Amino acid sequence: MKRSAAVGTDARPGPVRGAILAGGTATRFGGRPKGLEVVGGLRILDRLVDAFLNALGTLPLLIANDPNGSEWRPDLQVIADVHPGAGALGGLLTAVSAAPTPVVCVAWDMPFVPAPLLRRIAEALEGADAVLPASGGRRGVEPMCAGYGPACGPAIRSAIATGDLRAIAFHSAVRTCILPAETVAGFGDPSILFFNVNSQDDLTQADALWRRLASSQS
């Protein structure tokens, strides 16, 4: 079931945990951890940690299989995938399984996700099992910057068992809320909010975009 939701207040939502998904092997980066790349003078990982702290008031979990994960941010709890080989869906399952409360997940190659959007997603979890912002992209929503409640765990496991590893594979099995496009636009241009760094060219573009945005706001 899909619902839309209106923009909430600036008050922090109830118990919701953040999770940063470190993802796979980053072959287009020569295996380098994408979240450790610098955009606008700060690592993407650090930008996301700051956003979660501002949005939820607590440090996020770091979902990562890299043995060096604990060195990237020693203050973060690092959790390895509970279902290796399941791609992004496995990362979502790990985050949902690790947090007893609902969790807001963000892929660690997204440098432009702002705290107010994370807070809005967390607020909407009070009435839904999954909360996804409309993106305007090919899927219409952004599952890698979204909120998931405990009920998503069994639904994700069922999708993995059938071999359907799409990040949106389980949505029909849970109460799903889509933040409408006009709500998402209140936080910025979706093409920027959900910009992800997958290659060196993307990194160069993201850094230039960040500096341009910072200059326009100064």
pLDDT at 177 over 60: yes
Percentage with pLDDT > 90 across the chain: 81
Determine the pLDDT at residue 4.
Answer: 38
* 129-170: pLDDT as tens digits: 999 999 987 789 999 999 999 999 999 999 999 999 999 999
pLDDT at 46 over 60: yes
Q: Look at 12-26, 48-62, 138-152, 179-193 and tell me which has the smallest mean pLDDT.
A: 12-26
From CA 141, how far away is CA 7, in angstroms rounded? 17
- What is the value of pTM for the model shown? 0.90
Query: Residue 34 is encoded by which pair of tokens?
Result: 């994408």
- 16-217 CATH pick, 3.30.230.10, 3.90.550.10, 3.40.1120.10, 3.40.50.261: 3.90.550.10
User: Domain residue spans in the chain?
Assistant: 16-217
* 197-209: pLDDT as tens digits: 999 999 999 999 9
Band of pLDDT at residue 3, cut at 50, 70 and 90: very low
* 69-91: pLDDT as tens digits: 999 999 999 999 999 889 999 99
Full 3-state SS string of the chain: CEECCCCCCCCCCCCCEEEEECCCCCHHHCCCCHHHCEECCEEHHHHHHHHHHHHHCCCCEEECCCCCHHHHCCCCCEECCCCCCCHHHHHHHHHHHHCCCCEEEEECCCCCCCHHHHHHHHHHHHHCCEEEEECCCCCCECCCEEEECCCHHHHHHHHHHCCCCCCCCCHHHCCEEEECHHHHHCCCCHHHHCCCCCCHHHHHHHHHHHHHHHHHHC
From CA 51, how far away is CA 168, in angstroms rounded? 24
User: Average model confidence (pLDDT) for the chain?
Assistant: 90
The residue-averaged pLDDT of 188-202 equals 95
Determine the pLDDT at residue 26.
Answer: 57
The residue-averaged pLDDT of 15-33 equals 80
pLDDT at 176 over 60: yes
From CA 133, how far away is CA 98, in angstroms rounded? 23
